[in-house]
């Protein structure tokens, strides 16, 4: 049974969807438990069994009700493994296992990045609250080991590409018309929630102002929504670059945006892995990203992209200008990135490694 707090459309949930569909294809009996959210309709279309639970709110009542729902469904559906995608549902699962008739259940916590939780507490806690821990990067694994998690209880399994690998990439002309993009414009894009959590939003706009001095026809497309959008729009106006910055709001049709980009940029100050980098590389796009968290496990510096220090708009601009001025190098990096995705960031590799863990914790 896979567990997320919401049936939302985000990195955690889309990664879980890839896992659910592949495990189902391999003959496993798969359930997905969560509270609510728009992704539930897509799960129904793919015949994934959805279990609705009361775990969406951050309060003690929701915690108690969620724990009860886990215990109820474990017994009702004869679940063997709980594969929880975040820390709180894992603790709920541990408490549910203490109840009668559920002690044989195996609990797996899939750490996809802890930003607002103390690693020392979690590192120690999950020696007891889970049978095993998967991290989505060696960076995350190292932080948990440093803070007390036992090495024998954790393994890194990198995420996979959560969309089909394109065989050919042609610009989406409808999208070009929608945003009034000129054929001669250089398109630099990013995909991110406009939320303070991962940082780097203002760095990108400062960088854009520097790039536009040399490439005034460049367009920066920021795909995603969030509470910072108004402030970022105002900041772009303050820098006098509002005509060259496009805010799209939340979009699901990311493949169309990747198709029109010349370069993909990710200026995060915190990033457990960086699923969007995998997606951009799958479309053969050269990437520029900050050297933080698990990003270096996706982007090989000067082979599949360029890594720069975080919170340094000038270095970010320098890397973008280098690629704009050297299209042959940009093309080479993009081709190498696509090959890396097709060779390694596959659902088949991820599912093979998951099955090894499932077998280990149930043996």
Examine the domain organization and report whether 177 and 256 are in the same domain: yes
Q: How far apart are CA 220 and CA 206, in angstroms?
A: 12
Bridge partners, residue 49, by sequence: 31
How many independent structural domains does the chain possess? 2
Low-confidence ranges of the chain (pLDDT < 70): 101, 115-118
Give the model's pLDDT for residue 117.
62
Q: How far apart are CA 31 and CA 249, in angstroms?
A: 31
* 272 lies in some domain: yes
* 166 lies in some domain: no
What would you report as the CA-atom Rg of the chain, rounded to the nearest whole angstrom?
21
* 167 lies in some domain: no
Examine the domain organization and report whether 201 and 146 are in the same domain: no
User: What are the pLDDT digits (tens) for 53-96?
Assistant: 988 888 999 999 999 999 999 999 999 999 999 899 999 999 99
* 63 lies in some domain: yes
Examine the domain organization and report whether 257 and 277 are in the same domain: yes
CA neighbor of 140 nearest in space, from 275, 276, 235, 271: 271
Examine the domain organization and report whether 201 and 89 are in the same domain: no
Find tokens 């995909």 and name the residue: 191
Give the model's pLDDT for residue 71.
93
Give the model's pLDDT for residue 56.
82
* 305 lies in some domain: yes
Examine the domain organization and report whether 13 and 75 are in the same domain: yes
What are the two backbone dihedrals, phi and then psi, of residue 232, each rounded to the nearest 5 degrees?
A: -70, -40
Examine the domain organization and report whether 101 and 202 are in the same domain: no
Give the model's pLDDT for residue 116.
57
Examine the domain organization and report whether 276 and 351 are in the same domain: no
Find tokens 């190498």 and name the residue: 336
Examine the domain organization and report whether 155 and 280 are in the same domain: no
CATH (domain of 216): 3.40.50.2000
Which two three-digit tokens encode residue 249? Answer: 């709001």
Q: How far apart are CA 84 and CA 363, in angstroms?
A: 19
Examine the domain organization and report whether 309 and 350 are in the same domain: no
SS3 state of residue 290: strand
Inter-residue contact 279 to 161 (CB < 8 Å) = yes
Give the model's pLDDT for residue 209.
98
Give the Cβ contact number of residue 196 at 10 Å: 11
* 165 lies in some domain: no
Q: How far apart are CA 194 and CA 334, in angstroms?
A: 26
Range of the domain at 219: 173-343
Q: How far apart are CA 284 and CA 156, in angstroms?
A: 26
Examine the domain organization and report whether 60 and 180 are in the same domain: no
* 187 lies in some domain: yes
Examine the domain organization and report whether 194 and 121 are in the same domain: no
* 108 lies in some domain: yes
Examine the domain organization and report whether 303 and 282 are in the same domain: yes
Give the Cβ contact number of residue 173 at 10 Å: 13
Count Cα neighbours of 353 within 13 Å in the Cβ-side half-sphere. 20
Q: What is the pTM of this model?
A: 0.95
């Amino acid at each position: 049974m896979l567990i997320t707090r919401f049936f939302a459309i985000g990195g955690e949930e889309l990664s879980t969807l890839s896992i659910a569909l592949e495990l189902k294809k391999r003959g496993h009996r798969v359930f997905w438990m969560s509270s609510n959210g728009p992704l539930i309709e897509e799960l129904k279309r793919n015949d994934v069994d959805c279990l609705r639970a009361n775990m969406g709110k951050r309060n003690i009542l929701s915690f108690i009700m969620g724990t009860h729902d886990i215990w109820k469904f474990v017994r009702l559906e004869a679940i063997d493994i709980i594969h929880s995608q975040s820390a709180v549902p894992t603790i709920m699962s541990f408490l549910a296992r203490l109840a009668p008739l559920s002690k044989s259940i195996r609990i797996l916590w899939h750490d996809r990045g802890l930003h607002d939780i103390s690693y020392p507490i979690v590192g120690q806690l999950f020696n007891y609250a889970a049978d095993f821990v998967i991290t989505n990067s060696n960076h995350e694994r190292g932080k948990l080991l440093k803070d007390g998690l036992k090495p024998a209880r954790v393994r890194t399994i990198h995420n996979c590409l959560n969309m089909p690998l394109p065989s050919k990439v042609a610009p989406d002309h409808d999208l070009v018309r929608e945003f009034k993009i000129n054929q001669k414009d250089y398109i630099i894009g990013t995909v991110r929630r406009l939320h303070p959590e991962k940082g780097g939003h203002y760095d990108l706009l400062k960088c854009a102002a520097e790039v536009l001095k040399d490439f005034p026809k460049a367009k920066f497309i920021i795909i995603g929504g969030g509470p910072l959008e108004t402030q970022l729009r105002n900041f772009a106006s303050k820098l006098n670059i509002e005509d060259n910055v496009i805010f799209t709001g939340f979009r699901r049709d990311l493949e169309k945006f990747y198709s029109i980009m010349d370069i993909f940029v990710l200026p995060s100050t915190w990033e457990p892995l960086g699923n969007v980098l995998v997606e951009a590389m799958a479309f053969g796009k050269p990437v520029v990203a900050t050297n933080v968290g698990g990003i270096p496990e996706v982007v090989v510096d000067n082979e599949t992209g360029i890594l720069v220090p975080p919170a340094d708009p000038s270095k970010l601009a320098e890397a973008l200008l280098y690629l704009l001025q050297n299209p042959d190098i940009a093309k080479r990096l993009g081709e190498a990135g696509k090959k890396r995705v097709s060779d390694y960031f596959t659902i088949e590799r991820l599912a093979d490694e998951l099955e090894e863990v499932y077998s280990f914790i149930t043996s």
